Amino acid sequence: MKYLQDIGSYFLMLKKVFGSFTKTSVLRHLIFKEINDLIVSSLGIVAFISFFVGGVVAIQTALNMDNPIIPDSLIGFATRQSVILEFAPTFISIIMAGKVGSFITSSIGSMRVTEQIDALEVMGINSLNYLVFPKIVALMFYPFVIVLSMFLGVFGGYVAGVYGGFTSSSDFISGVQQDFIPYQLFYAFFKTFVFAFILATVPSWQGFYMKGGSLEVGKASTNSFVWTSVLIIGANYIITQLLLSS
Amino acid sequence: MIKIEDVHKSFGDEEILKGITTEFDKGKTNLIIGQSGSGKTVLLKCLIGLFKPEQGRIYYEDRAIQDMDDEKQRQLREEIGMLFQGGALFDSMNIEENVMFPLRMFTKQKKADMVDRVNQVLKRVNLENVNKKFPAEISGGMQKRVSIARAIVNKPKFLFCDEPNSGLDPKTATLIDTLIQDITHENNITTIVVTHDMNSVMEIGEKVVLLKQGKLVWQGTNQEIFKTDNEDVTSFVYSSDLFKKIREVQLKEG
């Protein structure tokens, strides 16, 4: 029963987010601030993880190729497929659920605990629009983070594969170019947008409707990570089934 | 003036407010007092629209809040200033931005005019040279004063204060009380203060409303509160040793 109530409350929240709008000049300022907090500040960790995981994928593929008739270009091909189809959109989103999701929940939760949200409401401001809408807009730039992750993942694979002596530069590049299907990019970015929306709204819901004090802010942040990850994994399965299984 | 008629509010099966009826006068500091759990904060939140009463009516001058649509309620809230118990300053903004916030949201003033008004109200609450500091960098008493400045910057008609001097030393608490009363008189606004502090009652209680277990049990002025024989009043007022001793001295002197 509680889950049903929570789902209902989440959708009612979404309705209110797009209700009475905050003054445009204020909203513009908030959106730029959120882009900085949620997108720009995540670039470093995303770049670091993507580069090294791309490298590990290339090395693992190379080390598991025992059959001499399998061409070395498979290393580039496997790296590209792993990074573009799953690692960059899905697993970076799980990492972002930890980094950005916890930040969103704790910042909104702290505002709830310290009556800052009540202060907004008393002033006649639609607090959900003021707090959540700029985060949704900011996270619509999330695909740029994923582009960076894709590029650095494949580049990491190249560096690890070529400079680790597992493949030649030309074989790797030929593998990356082999059997490229543009529709797979559409699939990757479609799900990136869905994950971005989940990343913006689920942690906001957790923070906005939390009750209690600072201890509960911590619990809400943990719940936020768990539920955002669960929803991303669930959405990933459904989107993959719908877009790739035909 | 704010008038409330037969306001009831429950949470689940528990009835918190049991039919409150009273008036809060314009140009006066009106105090709602009572023990913890008496329903005074719930009443305040009903007044400012954060809680919706199940029954009863609340009038701002001649406008019933129950008859207003969302847009009219939003417009009414522009006329309200609120001082929260913890200050409720926005952590991510400096003092100037905090105080300027209602002006940025609801007016079309130029930045320079807004800064002038901010400096004016900060000066009024005896704070200067703090514009660029953040809330975490100033004391609790200063945060309360910034919060008062933010509440009055847009020239509200109604000022609400929830436990304005909780957590403050007696001297700072008196300063805050006096400031609230002075601002009320200067601007002829309707001020409602929720408190359980008897010092506040003595200093600024031009009208005092006592709540007990969700019911209004007494109302009068701070002068009358020490003369009444109402048992609920005496048990609340003389619950502290200081006031007990004052009472004993009063009785001895006849």
In a domain, A7, yes or no: no
**Least Cα separation, residue A176 to chain B (angstroms):** 45
> Cβ contact (<8 Å) for A122 and B74?
no
How do residues A200-209 score in pLDDT, each as one tens digit?
999 999 999 9
- Asked whether residue A9 is assigned to any structural domain, the reply reads no
- As given in the structure block, the two tokens for residue A228 are 């955002």
For chain A, percent of residues with pLDDT exceeding 90: 87
Nearest Cα residue in chain A from B81: A123
> Cα A115 from chain centroid?
30
- The arrangement of secondary structure in B2-89+156-222, i.e. its CATH architecture, is 3-Layer(aba) Sandwich (3.40)
pLDDT confidence band for B129 (50 / 70 / 90): confident
Distances (CA, A) of B214 to B38, B65, B240: 5, 21, 22
- Selected for mutation to probe chain A from B84, B146, B153 (highest A CB count within 10 Å) is B84
Complex prediction ipTM: 0.84
So what's the pLDDT on residue B115? 93
- CA–CA dist B150, A120 (Å, integer): 12
CA distance linking residue B65 with residue B85, whole number of Å: 24
Q: How far apart are CA B227 and CA B137, in angstroms?
A: 44
pLDDT at A155 over 90: yes
- The answer to whether the Cβ–Cβ distance between B88 and A124 falls below 8 Å is no
pLDDT at A245: 84
Output DSSP code: residue A149.
H
A to B CB pairs, distance under 8 Å: 55
Is residue B35 within 8 Å of residue B10, measured between CB atoms? no
Indicate yes or no: CB of B75 within 8 angstroms of CB of A119.
Answer: no
Establish if A214 touches chain B: CB-CB under 8 angstroms: no
The most confident of the ranges A40-44, B139-143, B249-253 is A40-44
Cβ contacts (< 8 Å) between B80 and chain A: which residues?
122-124
The Cα diameter of chain B in Å comes to 63
B101 vs B106: CA distance, rounded Å: 9
A100 versus B248: which is more confidently predicted?
A100
The whole domain housing A219 covers: 23-245
Instruction: Confirm whether A11 is domain-assigned.
Output: no
Query: In this predicted model, which residue has the larger pLDDT, A77 or A19?
Result: A77
Q: Strand B158-162: give its sheet, edge to edge.
A: B80-83, B158-162, B190-195, B29-33, B207-212, B215-220
pLDDT at residue B243 greater than cutoff 80 = no
| For residues B15-39, average pLDDT | 91
Place of tokens 């009106």: B30
Choose among A20, A116, A122: nearest Cβ to B48. A122
For residues A182 and A161, give the distance between their C-alpha atoms in angstroms, rounded to a whole number.
24
User: Hey, CA dihedral for B6, B9, B13, B15, is it positive or negative?
Assistant: negative
Q: Please state the domain count of chain A.
A: 1
Q: Which residue has the tokens 């009903």?
A: B46
With contacts defined as CB-CB under 8 Å, which chain B residues touch A20? 70, 74
CB contact under 8 A, B50 and A121: yes
Asked whether residue A2 is domain-assigned, the answer is no
Q: Is A114 on the interface with B (CB under 8 A)?
A: yes
Mutation for A interface: B74, B93, B105, B155, most A CBs within 10 A: B105
